[in-house]
């Protein structure tokens, strides 16, 4: 090899691709596509994602939903929600106490509960509270995971509909 050829080799350096550059580009595209397909498969395999089935209906009816969320406050209702532990490690008694603006217990309400942990939003419980008298209502719920749970209440009382959301910490 001549001195001129050796000098040209040193100038070209270590990263000389020559005629192999199309394979590098194709390899990068294949790597990128594999990464994207892998990400899509990983997300699709998760079963803890929640998609609200009535999302569009709620969107269309948003003004009415907002009115119902503000109804209890406007009427001066005092709604207390508490989780009472039972002998079972995962069962709780949910107790609601409802008092009106005049301080009188609110008997005769229909209260429905949607209960879920935000980390497992697809695992929702739906139940109806039983009236105990003196503005008290009870229902049994399961809470396997510790942390904050979301309780969404739908209340019907003397022709008025209200929605109330609360967070409850389960130890």
pLDDT of residue 15: 55
Is the C-alpha dihedral spanning 58, 62, 65, 66 positive or negative?
positive
pLDDT cut 90: percent of the chain above it: 32
- Residue 30: the pLDDT is 97
**Residue 91: beta bridge partners?**
142
Q: What is the pLDDT of residues 8-35, one digit of tens each?
A: 665 555 556 667 788 889 999 999 999 9
> Which DSSP symbol is given to 105?
B
**Residue 168 banded pLDDT, cuts 50, 70, 90:** confident
**Mean predicted confidence (pLDDT) in 50-73:** 83
Which pLDDT belongs to residue 29? 97
Most confident range (mean pLDDT) of 25-39, 40-54, 72-86, 96-110 is 25-39
According to DSSP, the residues that pair with 114 across neighbouring strands are: 126, 152
pLDDT at residue number 99:
93
pLDDT tops 90 at residue 122: no
Whole-number pLDDT of residue 112:
94
Instruction: Assess if CATH 2.60.40.1940 describes domain 55-170.
Output: yes
Average pLDDT of the chain is 84
Measure the CA–CA gap between 140 and 115, rounded to whole angstroms. 11
Query: So what's the pLDDT on residue 16?
Result: 61
pLDDT score, position 55: 79
Q: What percent of the chain has pLDDT over 70?
A: 87
> Can you give the residue ranges of every domain in the chain?
3-45, 55-170
Mean per-residue pLDDT for 135-141? 90
* Cβ atoms within 10 Å of 43's Cβ, excluding its own: 9
pTM score, whole prediction: 0.66
Rounded Cα distance, 107 and 90, in Å: 29
């Amino acid at each position: 090899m001549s001195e001129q050829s050796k000098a040209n080799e040193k100038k070209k350096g270590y990263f000389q691709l020559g005629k192999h550059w199309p394979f590098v580009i194709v390899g990068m595209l294949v790597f990128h596509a594999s990464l994207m397909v892998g990400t899509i498969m990983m997300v699709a395999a998760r079963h803890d994602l929640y998609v609200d089935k009535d999302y569009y209906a709620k969107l269309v009816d948003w003004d009415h939903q907002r009115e119902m969320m503000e109804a209890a406050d406007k009427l001066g209702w005092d709604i207390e929600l508490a989780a009472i532990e039972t002998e079972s490690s995962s069962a709780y008694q949910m107790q609601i106490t409802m008092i009106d603006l005049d301080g009188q217990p609110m008997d005769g309400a229909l209260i429905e509960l949607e209960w879920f942990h935000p980390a497992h939003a697809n695992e929702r419980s739906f139940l109806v509270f039983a009236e105990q008298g003196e503005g008290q209502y009870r229902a049994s719920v399961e809470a396997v995971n510790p942390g904050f749970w979301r309780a969404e209440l739908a209340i019907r009382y003397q022709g008025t509909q209200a929605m109330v959301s609360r967070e409850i910490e389960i130890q």
